[in-house]
Amino acid sequence: MSQTVTILGAAALRVGKWQAAPDAPTQKLEHEVLADLVIEAMQDAGLDRREIGSLTFSLPRPYTQQKYFGTFMANYLRLPCAGSVSEIMGNGMTAGLAFEGASNDIRLGRSRVALALGVNFETAISAAEHMMSSMRTTGDVDFHTPFGFTPISWYAMDAARYIHEFKSSREELASVAVKNRFHASLNPIAQFRKLISLEDVLAQPLIVEPLGLYEVPPRSDGAVCLVLADEDVARAVGRPYVRIKGRGFFHEGAHQINEVPNDMIALVAAQTAGRTAFAEAGVSPDEIDLAEVYAPCTIVEVLVSEALGFAPRGRGAGMARDGETTLGGRIPICTSGGLQSRGHPAYVTPFYSFVEILDQLRHRADERQVANARLALTCAELGNYNAALVHVLEAVH
């Protein structure tokens, strides 16, 4: 019989710019940062280090000097493991898949306690240089990259199509950025916490039309450690925890665009993965108390909220504008501040979604607490939502 997976503890670095310039006299080193979080997360979980059986790391950025980071960390922490030690890579979904790796070891009974953890340091590299690498991650290196597409330019084309099809507007989409900044203002680990207005968002320089600086993700460093355990372990500890109630994954078999013309902004992968996760959890979208979705740009949050069934097609932007996705609204989305304001250390971003959900479902989110939060959803993606990984999570007190 497979085991039920729970999340029992977490620790996260405040998202921001931490990476030192290569010639700085002292460096902030990834393994020192992460080891500190591992100890903190295990204290939060109330578990002894000897119970850990698996370490599933998100792959660090290529700018991290220490290679084979996962096995290096097993040494640094002196952690013999009988489950597995691995580093996972899956574009924007990297940390989601690392979470899956840790979950699977528990589900299969290979480990009773597994850490899903990682660090993403990249801000010492300029955006223009970083894009020399990231432009080759989204699309076809020979048939797309030569035209100068960047990762967020695909989302910008989603925005243009959404505005065209549903008579929406940049203003309506930009309301998502204002909402997310408000949420981030209440989150001590968010990168940008100063409140902004719709006028502020619209006054920013354009990055990829129709999106400006505040409607796209910042560059960020971050690090997270999550403690997963089988439910018997979680029960024995006696603290509130989060149970994974449903999970869905779908890759549409396309990369950025489908060569057979389709409805690009329906986000078929999120629709399909969402249906699977809801069915496994035995709940419907209207029962979800809050959602933490991977949405680099404002438009993506709108599209994925529609694809997951939180809004009818074409209503996602209006729903954000009307405050339905704000704290206190019908379905609060990205109470952490989302990728625009909490920040986007890409390879660990989905870990931060679980950190937020763990805070919310254990009722430890202070000023940004969703009242009586019991059921939550996370969603990770890659490409232009060509693949989605959805989890439905439940509070256990």
Partner 1 sequence: MSLPIIEVDRPRSYPPRVSAFTQRFWGALQEGRFETTRCTACERLTFPPKPFCPHCWSRNISWTPLSGRGKLYSQSVIHAAPAVFRAEAPYRVGIVDLDDGLRIATRILCETPPELDSPVEIIVFRYADGPLFGARPL
Stretch that binds partner 1, among 184-192, 200-208, 266-274, 328-336 (CB under 8 A): 200-208
Least Cβ distance, residue 254 to partner 1 (angstroms): 9
Residue 69 or 166: which CB sits closer to partner 1? 166
- Is residue 135 involved in binding partner 1 (CB under 8 A)? yes
Out of 25, 80, 205, 238, the only residue in the binding site for partner 1 (CB under 8 A) is: 205
Residue 159 or 370: which CB sits closer to partner 1? 159
CA–CA dist 332, 314 (Å, integer): 18
| Nearest by Cα to 224 from 52, 349, 79, 55 | 349
Least Cβ distance, residue 141 to partner 1 (angstroms): 7
Least Cβ distance, residue 32 to partner 1 (angstroms): 31
Least Cβ distance, residue 86 to partner 1 (angstroms): 30
- Is residue 129 involved in binding partner 1 (CB under 8 A)? yes
- Is residue 146 involved in binding partner 1 (CB under 8 A)? yes
Out of 158, 230, 292, 301, the only residue in the binding site for partner 1 (CB under 8 A) is: 158
What six digits make up the tokens of 164? Answer: 């065209």
Distances, alpha carbon 320 to alpha carbons 249, 288, 329, 340, in Å: 26, 17, 10, 15
| CB within 8 Å of 253: residues ≥ 6 apart | none
Least Cβ distance, residue 369 to partner 1 (angstroms): 36
Out of 6, 91, 137, 153, the only residue in the binding site for partner 1 (CB under 8 A) is: 153
Please tell me what DSSP assigns to residue 124.
Answer: T
Stretch that binds partner 1, among 46-54, 123-131, 185-193, 289-297 (CB under 8 A): 123-131
- Is residue 167 involved in binding partner 1 (CB under 8 A)? no
What part of residues 242-281 is at the interface with partner 1 (CB under 8 A)?
Answer: 256-262, 264
CB 291 within 8 A of CB 308: yes
| Nearest by Cα to 113 from 237, 226, 5, 229 | 229
- Is residue 376 involved in binding partner 1 (CB under 8 A)? no
What part of residues 77-116 is at the interface with partner 1 (CB under 8 A)?
Answer: none
- Is residue 156 involved in binding partner 1 (CB under 8 A)? yes
CA–CA dist 174, 69 (Å, integer): 38
Helix (H) or strand (E) holding 100: helix 94-107
Name residue 93's amino acid: M
DSSP 288-347: --EEEE--SSHHHHHHHHHHTTSS-TT-HHHHHHTTTTSTTSSS-B-TT-HHHHT---GG
| CB within 8 Å of 240: residues ≥ 6 apart | 361, 362, 363, 395, 396, 397
- Is residue 56 involved in binding partner 1 (CB under 8 A)? no
Residue 157 or 333: which CB sits closer to partner 1? 157
| Nearest by Cα to 37 from 14, 21, 58 | 14
Distances, alpha carbon 300 to alpha carbons 216, 233, 293, 331, 385, in Å: 10, 37, 9, 16, 9
- Is residue 70 involved in binding partner 1 (CB under 8 A)? no
- Is residue 209 involved in binding partner 1 (CB under 8 A)? yes
Least Cβ distance, residue 162 to partner 1 (angstroms): 9
- Is residue 203 involved in binding partner 1 (CB under 8 A)? no
> Which neighbouring-strand residues pair with 84?
54
Residue 2 or 262: which CB sits closer to partner 1? 262
By residue count, the chain amounts to 397
- Is residue 171 involved in binding partner 1 (CB under 8 A)? no
Residue 208 or 392: which CB sits closer to partner 1? 208
Binding site for partner 1 (CB under 8 A): 127-129, 131-132, 134-135, 139-150, 153, 156-161, 164, 205-210, 256-262, 264
